[in-house]
Structure 1
Amino acid sequence: MGRYSRLGNNLYTGQRSIDFVGRKWLWYAVSALIVGIAVAGLLVKGLNYGIEFTGGTQVRVSLENSQVTQKNADDLREAVAAAGVEGATNPSVTTSGDSAILVQVEELGAAEAATVSEVIMTTLAVTPDQLSQDKIGASWGDQVRNRAILGLVVFVVLVLLLIWAYFRQWKMSLAAMVALAHDVVITVGVYALSGFEVTPATVTGVLTILGFSLYDTVVVFDKVRENTKNLRQSRRSYAQAANLALNQTLVRSINTSLVALIPVGAILYVGAVQLGASSLKDLALALFVGMAAGTYSSVFIATPLLVHMKANESEIVLAERRAKARARRAADKYAAVPSFTEDMPILDEDGDDVPAADFADDDVEGPVAPTRPSSPEALGRGRVAPTQARPVGESPAAGRPQPSRQPRSKRNKK
């Protein structure tokens, strides 16, 4: 068995444990710092909305199949950006199938549009008949934004109801929503800091990470529910049982995230480095950041926050007291031996009260005084029976009158 497999087995069985819940304030501080940076980037730099949201000018260049290449698209992007036309300093140039190249810039006047068209014809050696220019309004982008917000609201409401119906705990729903908001804010903040354009592909990526983040959180919560189903029998506090659930699902969460992040990272590299301006990089960046943040929040935010919110519940408080008492007894078994009194309560080996009915005799009417069960440590004390020399057989004297010893004053008297 490899070292990684042994580590996963030890984490699952509890032989090794990482204290996620006990260090919740550290994770809160780290998350607050990351979210603060994301919000600052969003407020200071803002989002770079694409032409679909702001409106602009799109030029379609019809070409032969052999000319529709990424090299021509990159050359055209550099030429348009270097033309010095205001509104075309950061053009979006992509291939459209195998028959055209699309050039998207901000809304231009007639003179600026003519300059851009001249640069395109010079760079690709095409005629004016091969160019077609369209105006893109911002109304379609407004519709996409409104639909995205509506979809997000519907998603959040359905998730709240689903988690509450499945776990029967509204605090789990609230913790999952806080983790989800954490992931969305970080993703949007990274988008603002990176300067990537917000396109319809970005909206698709953000909506996708909501489901991925929630899936990981639900898996962890399901293990938490399993471990905390019967705290009295588990002999753990709620925090200890929840922390065990995190350790048991940690390897699975890491493996799932790596399997998802590696191909998304490859798509991000190809879209941002190899292809330049492409909708692939917009989608991949949202997916990559959202998946990484979702894995982090499900382990470091959602479960510690759930334990934090449930800390004042009466059942959780009693389980915590029992766990602390067991820890003290385990440290020194003879440090807290009480003196005997007639009204001393009967306790089991865990320190819990034992009802008197458990020691009552069913054949005797009325209550019977409970008797304290003998502990294994008390066996063998006091008088010790001699070792048996041979098996004890049936006595031949059975059935005959047995002699009895009389007092000296009555001996030899009739």
Structure 2
Amino acid sequence: MTTLRVIDFMGQRKLAAILSILLVLGSLVSLSVKGIVLGLDFTGGTQIEVGYPQPADLSVIRAQLTESGFENPTVIYFGSESDVLIRLQGEPAAGLSDEVFAALKNNTDSEIEMRRVDYVGPQVGDELREDGGLGMLAALAVVMLYVAIRFQYKFSIGAVVALVHDVIITLGFFSITRLEFDLTVLAAVLAVIGYSLNDTIVVFDRIRENFRLLRTAEAKEVINESLTQSLQRTLLTSLTTIFVLVALFVFGGELIHNFAIALIVGVVIGTYSSIYVAANLLMALRMTRENLLPPEKEGEEFDGLP
């Protein structure tokens, strides 16, 4: 039987901590200065579906709309390459769809067809801004309580910091790249929270078990042993998830491109944070085997005496 070689993950904990701090600070600066490019779901606007008799060139359509005076139009395929969805931000105006259709028709010899026009209000964004923040704080509080009850309060601090770390960096990525943030991306961010927490819980469970088994080992040795044992499971889960997300990005169409990108970034960061944020914090908080022992009841030392 071969012995598993223990990887010294915690030997690089200081370098990893510096990297995490730089990523979080960079994300916060970008979010503060540049903000996030909000999609139609949050800002309100008009969606127009247009049908072409042959595959349409999105760059040409985008240029036609820009030349006609429409600012920052979003043009994507909607199903097939002959179906195009046009999104225009701002308050819906009367006759806007007719102006868009006329601009497209004047710049092409093809017989195009107006399929559908939708007006989207910004009320969803208002509700999310008001209630989403409170909901997120409540969710983090419940997560902290759950981890504290199941493990120990030091574990709960590590889990919540890892979650906040993952969310900030994912949002920062969208701020830096100026990718559009819509409801599908919000759903991806919530999925990242669940993925990251699940991965962290698996790592914490192994660390807690090894603290009880390796009684004479130091905290660094126990954490390295635990991370090495759970590494294969973590890599298999992360890689298979990323393979699926890459397939979605390549073959899923432009409607879910940003959704797939958000999940890919979140899975990579979540896997990293389970090792170098959550476990690293346990080292910083001086986690010991004694922390996991149940508190001694008063007078317990006299039990069994006559």
Structure 1 and Structure 2 fold alike (TM over 0.5): yes
Which of 142, 160, 180 is residue 158 of structure 1 equivalent to?
A: 142
Q: Give the number of aligned pairs.
A: 288
Structure 1 position 296, deviation (Å) = 0.2
Aligned 8 A contact 1:264 1:287 in 2: yes
Higher helix content, 1 or 2? 2
Which of 165, 175, 197 is residue 214 of structure 1 equivalent to?
A: 197
Which of 242, 245, 253 is residue 261 of structure 1 equivalent to?
A: 242
Which of 267, 271, 275 is residue 295 of structure 1 equivalent to?
A: 271
In structure 2, the CA distance between the partners of 1:256 and 1:134, relative to structure 1 (3 Å rule), is closer
Structure 1 position 254, deviation (Å) = 1.4
Which of 41, 56, 80 is residue 30 of structure 2 equivalent to?
A: 41
In structure 2, the CA distance between the partners of 1:104 and 1:242, relative to structure 1 (3 Å rule), is same
TM-score norm. by structure 2 comes to: 0.82
- Quick one: distance in 1 between partners of 2:216 and 2:203? 21
Mapping for residues 199-348 of structure 1, pairs under 5 Å: 199-231=182-214, 234-270=215-251, 275=253, 278-311=254-287, 315=290
In structure 2, the CA distance between the partners of 1:270 and 1:192, relative to structure 1 (3 Å rule), is farther
In structure 2, the CA distance between the partners of 1:291 and 1:223, relative to structure 1 (3 Å rule), is same
Higher strand content, 1 or 2? 2
In structure 2, the CA distance between the partners of 1:191 and 1:307, relative to structure 1 (3 Å rule), is same
- Quick one: distance in 1 between partners of 2:53 and 2:78? 7
The amino acid across from 2:76 in the alignment is V
Does 2:158 correspond to 1:175?
yes
TM-score norm. by structure 1 comes to: 0.62
Equivalent in the alignment of 1:17: 6
Equivalent in the alignment of 2:170: 187
Equivalent in the alignment of 2:17: 28
- Quick one: distance in 2 between partners of 1:211 and 1:142? 24
- Quick one: distance in 1 between partners of 2:57 and 2:120? 21
The amino acid across from 1:262 in the alignment is F
- Quick one: distance in 1 between partners of 2:148 and 2:41? 38
Structure 1 position 135, deviation (Å) = 3.5
The amino acid across from 1:51 in the alignment is L
- Quick one: distance in 1 between partners of 2:153 and 2:98? 61
Q: Secondary structure at the match of 1:57?
A: strand
Aligned 8 A contact 2:68 2:103 in 1: no
Q: Per-residue CA shift, 1:346-389, capped at 9, x if unaligned?
A: xxxxxxxxxxxxxxxxxxxxxxxxxxxxxxxxxxxxxxxxxxxx
Aligned 8 A contact 2:53 2:111 in 1: no
Unaligned runs of 5+ in 1: 1-5, 317-414
Unaligned runs of 5+ in 2: 292-306
Superposition CA RMSD, Å: 3.0
Mapping for residues 46-57 of structure 1, pairs under 5 Å: 46-57=35-46
- Quick one: distance in 2 between partners of 1:39 and 1:173? 23
Aligned 8 A contact 2:58 2:75 in 1: no
In structure 2, the CA distance between the partners of 1:293 and 1:75, relative to structure 1 (3 Å rule), is closer
- Quick one: distance in 2 between partners of 1:225 and 1:142? 43
Mapping for residues 62-81 of structure 1, pairs under 5 Å: 63=51, 67=52, 71-72=55-56, 74=58, 77-81=61-65
More displaced 10-residue stretch of structure 1: 145-154 or 185-194: 145-154
- Greater radius of gyration (CA): 1
The amino acid across from 2:140 in the alignment is V
- Quick one: distance in 2 between partners of 1:245 and 1:111? 63
- Quick one: distance in 1 between partners of 2:83 and 2:112? 12
Aligned 8 A contact 2:56 2:81 in 1: no
Q: Per-residue CA shift, 1:291-316, capped at 9, x if unaligned?
A: 000000001111121122135x6947
Aligned 8 A contact 2:203 2:226 in 1: yes
Structure 1 position 193, deviation (Å) = 1.3
In structure 2, the CA distance between the partners of 1:26 and 1:126, relative to structure 1 (3 Å rule), is closer
Structure 1 position 121, deviation (Å) = 3.3
Aligned 8 A contact 2:61 2:104 in 1: no
Equivalent in the alignment of 1:412: none
- Quick one: distance in 1 between partners of 2:89 and 2:64? 12
Structure 1 position 125, deviation (Å) = 2.1
The amino acid across from 1:55 in the alignment is G
Structure 1 position 281, deviation (Å) = 1.0
Aligned 8 A contact 1:183 1:294 in 2: yes
Equivalent in the alignment of 1:347: none
| Larger relative contact order, structure 1 or 2 (CA cutoff 8 Å, min sep 6) | 2
